[in-house]
């Protein structure tokens, strides 16, 4: 039940405003004791020519005469009209909805028949999958799952970096310094070694860069030798990437890399030329964007080779023709903001209105106290190494705690739990804050079982599931059923709540759970998984206060049914949120 919408409908006859306007005006009071919703009367004062305090009192008087059943009290607080929901009605309605909808709770059909393209991850072929790739991979995967909750048709794109002058460099490096045995044994490390070697030697010998440009030109022309080497480097890299994706539970619908669009670029260039948008600048071909207050967009280099912009333009044209997207989202680092502004501006200038549907979702940098990412210098922190470190550190914590447990975990259970907690801890840290903020790794914070962390969310979920298991094992309620998925509560009736003593912690928890649908929609509007992460943190904090304040398993029968229903609803919402953020469910920690 949407209480805000019901409230807007109740206010509408007296406020002479439409429901949407009223909905946008409704606010959440800063403290629970001030009510559940507040309606400010400032806007009405302009048209009614009365003081907002008088308007609030007038509206309160009219509403009191026909008070909806879900409202227990209305108070005038200066220029605000504060509404207090009937707490038993609120608990019943929201717990009933969550129990009925289960995995579909929070989902809508807002995006039905609309296609959203999400380009993310997009690592460079022949280079290691380093920590810098984690941001786009994790963020993009979560955004894809977010959009799916609202019924969008989501197409996941991995725009592989499999083209560009770096492949000319790699071909030259392989010929001069490549070790075939090393390439077979550990391909990514060997490709990285010779790539770094190329840049070291190129500082001393400028002819290497000239030779590399020639080799890339041959690759663009489809010469057999260069193409064969390029394909081999690509195949070796994809084996590595897929191993990482499997561990992160990330997948894609389309793997077309930059090379896929190379044959489409001439038509795009000709289109820009026919529309008199291309100009020569120092031998290169550019589109001027003076009216957009942007620097010129380079489309072709002076030697005629393509560049990122030309390949992105071709990709967008192809994607719109194939999918007719409602949104085309690029999950790429914030430093590329100018590039995407230029590309979208060129499309718009060329008369393609779908440029307005293209969105750049930027994000910050990944930092370590003593490391900076630079493939060229060989200083790179591999994502797999980071995942392994997180898992190993988690395993040490579990083993230390296991020594004092009565119900000791097996070695297999410890390994499985450590993998789930460790990987989820890394997934969480990339979604802990606003995406444009830089991430500085602090292992103590990342693996903490208290505060804002992945392990804290998982621990809270495990605690709630433990209560439900014990309730079943002790046969404490006939309202709990055992299933393969865990405990499932039967539907409670409003009558079951008639004698329930609603304490502040229980009400505060269900209020957090009730916000979940709005949270998902807000996260999508902002393209910001952090909105969901913050909500799950709030739910977990509220649950732990609820757990402390209520003796759930020893409560009286009527109270216990509802307390267990609250536990179950909490588990369900956390499960739904975990799935979106890519966090693993753990029922025993």
pLDDT of residue 156: 99
Q: Which two tokens stand for residue 71?
A: 């409202």
Strands 153-157 and 486-489: unpaired
Q: Where in the chain is the domain with CATH 3.30.1360.70?
A: 3-85
Burial of 101 per CB tally in 10 Å (0-12, 13-18, 19+): middle
Per-residue pLDDT at 477:
56
Q: State how far the Cα of 531 lies from the Cα of 291, in Å rounded to an integer.
A: 36
For residue 475, the model assigns a pLDDT of 65
CA distance 158 to 237: 14
Q: How high is the pLDDT of residue 461? A: 98
CATH architecture classification, 3-85: 2-Layer Sandwich (3.30)
Taking phi over 0 as left and psi of -120 to 50 as alpha, with beta for the rest, 486 belongs to: left
3-class SS letters over 225-261: HHHHHHHHHHHHHHHHHHHHHHHHCCCCCECCCHHHH
Query: 3-state DSSP call for residue 299?
Result: strand
Amino acid 489: pLDDT: 52
Query: What pLDDT shows up at residue 375?
Result: 43
pTM above 0.75, yes or no: yes
Count how many Cα atoms sit within 13 Å of the Cα of residue 562 in the half-sphere of its side chain. 28
- Total residues belonging to the chain: 589
pLDDT (tens, 9 = 90+) of the chain, 589 residues, equals 788 899 999 999 998 888 999 999 999 998 888 999 999 999 898 889 899 999 999 999 999 888 888 999 999 999 999 999 999 999 999 999 999 999 999 999 999 999 999 999 999 998 888 888 999 999 999 999 999 999 999 999 999 999 888 999 999 999 999 999 999 888 988 998 999 999 999 999 999 999 999 999 999 888 999 999 999 999 999 998 999 999 999 999 999 999 899 899 999 999 999 999 999 998 899 999 999 999 999 999 888 777 889 999 999 999 999 999 999 999 999 999 999 999 999 999 999 999 999 999 999 988 877 544 444 445 668 899 899 999 999 999 999 988 888 788 899 999 999 999 999 999 999 999 999 999 888 888 898 888 899 999 999 999 999 999 888 777 655 555 444 444 445 568 888 898 898 999 999 999 999 999 999 999 999 999 999 999 999 999 999 999 999 999 999 988 998 999 999 999 999 999 999 999 999 998 8
């Amino acid at each position: 039940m949407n209480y805000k919408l019901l409230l807007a409908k109740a206010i509408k006859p007296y406020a002479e405003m439409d429901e949407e306007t009223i909905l946008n005006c409704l606010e959440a009071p800063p403290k629970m004791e001030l009510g559940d919703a507040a309606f400010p009367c400032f806007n009405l004062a302009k048209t009614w020519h009365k003081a907002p305090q008088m308007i609030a009192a007038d509206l309160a008087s009219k509403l009191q005469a026909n008070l909806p059943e879900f409202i227990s009290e209305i108070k005038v607080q200066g220029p605000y009209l504060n509404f207090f929901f009937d707490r038993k009605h609120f608990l019943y309605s929201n717990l009933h909805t969550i129990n009925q909808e289960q995995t579909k709770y929070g989902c809508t059909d807002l995006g039905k028949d609309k296609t959203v393209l999400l380009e993310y991850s997009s690592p460079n072929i022949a280079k290691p999958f380093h920590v810098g790739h984690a941001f786009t991979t994790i963020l993009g995967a979560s955004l894809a799952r977010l959009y799916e909750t609202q019924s969008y048709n989501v197409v996941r794109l991995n725009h592989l970096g499999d083209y560009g002058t770096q492949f000319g460099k790699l071909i030259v490096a392989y010929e001069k310094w490549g070790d075939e045995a090393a390439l077979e044994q550990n391909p990514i490390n060997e490709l990285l070694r010779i790539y770094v070697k190329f840049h070291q030697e190129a500082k001393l010998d400028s002819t290497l860069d000239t030779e590399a440009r020639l080799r890339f030109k041959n690759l663009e022309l489809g010469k057999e030798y260069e193409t064969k080497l390029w394909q081999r480097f690509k195949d070796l890299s994809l084996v590595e990437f897929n191993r990482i994706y499997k561990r992160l539970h990330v997948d894609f619908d389309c793997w077309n890399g930059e090379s896929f669009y190379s044959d489409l670029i001439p038509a795009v260039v000709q289109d820009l030329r026919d529309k008199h948008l291309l100009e020569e600048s120092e031998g290169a071909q550019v589109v001027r964007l003076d009216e957009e207050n942007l620097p010129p967009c380079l489309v072709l280099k002076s030697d005629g080779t393509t560049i990122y912009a030309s390949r992105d333009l071709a990709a967008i044209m192809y994607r719109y023709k194939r999918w007719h997207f409602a949104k085309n989202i690029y999950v790429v680092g914030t430093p590329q903001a100018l590039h995407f502004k230029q590309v979208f501006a060129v499309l718009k200038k060329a008369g393609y209105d779908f440029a307005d549907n293209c969105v750049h979702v930027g994000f910050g940098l990944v930092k370590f106290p003593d490391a900076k990412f630079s493939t060229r210098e060989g200083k790179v922190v591999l994502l797999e190494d980071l995942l392994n470190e997180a898992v190993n550190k988690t395993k040490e914590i579990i083993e230390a705690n296991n020594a004092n447990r009565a119900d000791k975990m097996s070695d297999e259970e410890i390994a499985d739990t450590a993998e789930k907690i460790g990987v989820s801890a890394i997934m969480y840290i990339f979604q802990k804050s606003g995406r444009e903020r830089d991430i500085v790794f602090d292992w103590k914070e990342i693996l903490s079982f208290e505060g804002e962390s992945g392990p804290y969310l998982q621990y809270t979920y495990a605690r709630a599931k433990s209560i439900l298991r014990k309730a079943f094992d002790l046969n404490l309620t006939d309202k709990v059923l055992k299933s393969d998925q865990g405990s499932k509560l039967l539907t409670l009736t409003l009558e079951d709540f008639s004698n329930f003593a609603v304490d502040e912690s229980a009400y505060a928890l269900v209020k957090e759970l009730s916000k979940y649908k709005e949270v998902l929609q807000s996260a999508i509007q902002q393209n910001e998984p952090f909105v969901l992460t913050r909500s799950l943190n709030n739910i977990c904090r509220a649950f732990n206060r609820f757990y402390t304040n209520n003796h759930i398993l020893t409560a009286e029968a009527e109270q216990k049914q509802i307390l267990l229903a609250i536990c179950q609803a909490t588990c369900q919402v956390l499960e739904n949120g975990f799935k979106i953020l890519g966090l693993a469910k753990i029922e025993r920690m």
